[in-house]
Homo-oligomer: A and B are copies of this chain.
Amino acid sequence: MEQDKVITIVGLGVVGGSYAIALSKKGYTVYGVNRSSESLDMALECGAIKKGAHTPEEFFAESDIIIIALYPDQIVEYLKKYGKFIKQGCLVSDVAGIKSRFVDDINAVMPKGSEFIFCHPMAGREKRGFRYADDRVLQGANFLIAKTETTTDEAIARMSRLVKDIGFGEVRVTDAATHDKVIAYTSQLPHAIAVSLINSDDEDSETASFIGDSYRDLTRIANINEDLWSELFLGNKENLISTITSFEEQLSLVKNAIEQDDRQTLKRLFVKSTQRRIGLEKKKQTEK
């Protein structure tokens, strides 16, 4: 297996930009494609990319790996338009937060002789745009690969090597359906909760003087990209509805226990949540 050397990043937003910075630091030849000149200029100036352009024809012809860091809905159209410029043996990937919805469409438009591998880096920031790109957010982060019928072991090995090289932590291979089901719980539900928590504030109250770290932590991701996240939510509808319902049931248990002055049930729920949270930390430490 030859070493992949030339990488093109399509979309120099916060995620694509963070990849570009990390890859360049590791000595890869990184090309950047972006609609706006502003992000290209910034990325060139800080050395995150070697060359930049508004369209990818020239870069695709040279690249060993292409990472399309666009919104999920845009990937198929992009491949339809520019897929023919991808060179033989190229590995193409994404960074999208949902998978099942796009697997067949994307595989259908991929040119012969190259392969698409569905990837989800579990790293990001609540801010948008290249100016907030930062390779530190990738360090130690979980990396998910959603394997499909067409995914080869070689593609998994190449992508794993690349992302381990730039600092990702655990690389976990799963399938698209499992990915979407678990991500509805671990990523989309927390965003739905954060939004609902801050939106349930009484307009008249001066909340800011009354908050501690817990409220800050739970609302950080209420600062949310409405275009991207409405797409992610609606593109994973059944899973997300199901996970919101499970959460509502658990919250009802807490609420009912309070209403009935049922201290024992409350304590039992708290002991359970504490054990689970400690288990999560232990799992994390074991990995390190």
Contacts and interface: CB of A to CB of B under 8 A. Distances in A.
Contacts of A207: 182, 185-186, 280
A212 B122 contact: yes
A198 B191 CA distance: 14
A241 B218 contact: no
Contacts of A123: 212-213
Interface string A199-216: 111100101111111111
Contact of A212 (B187, B230, B273): B187
A272 interface: yes
Contact of A200 (B250, B267, B278): B250
Most chain B C-beta atoms within 10 Å of own C-beta, residue among A189, A209, A274:
A209
Contact of A221 (B126, B197, B217, B255): B217
Contacts of A190: 197, 214-215, 217-218
Contacts of A191: 214
Interface residues of A, number: 89
A82 interface: no
A182 B210 contact: yes
A278 B276 CA distance: 31
Interface stretch (A56-64, A152-160, A256-264): A256-264
A226 to B, nearest CB: 4
A80 B58 CA distance: 82
Contact of A214 (B187, B199, B201): B187
8 contacts: A122-B210, A189-B200, A195-B254, A219-B280, A226-B271, A234-B266, A244-B251, A245-B255
Interface of A: 122-124, 126, 141-142, 144, 170, 172, 179, 181-183, 185-187, 189-202, 205, 207-227, 229-230, 233-234, 237, 240-241, 243-251, 253-255, 258-259, 261, 263, 266-267, 269-274, 276-278, 280, 283-284
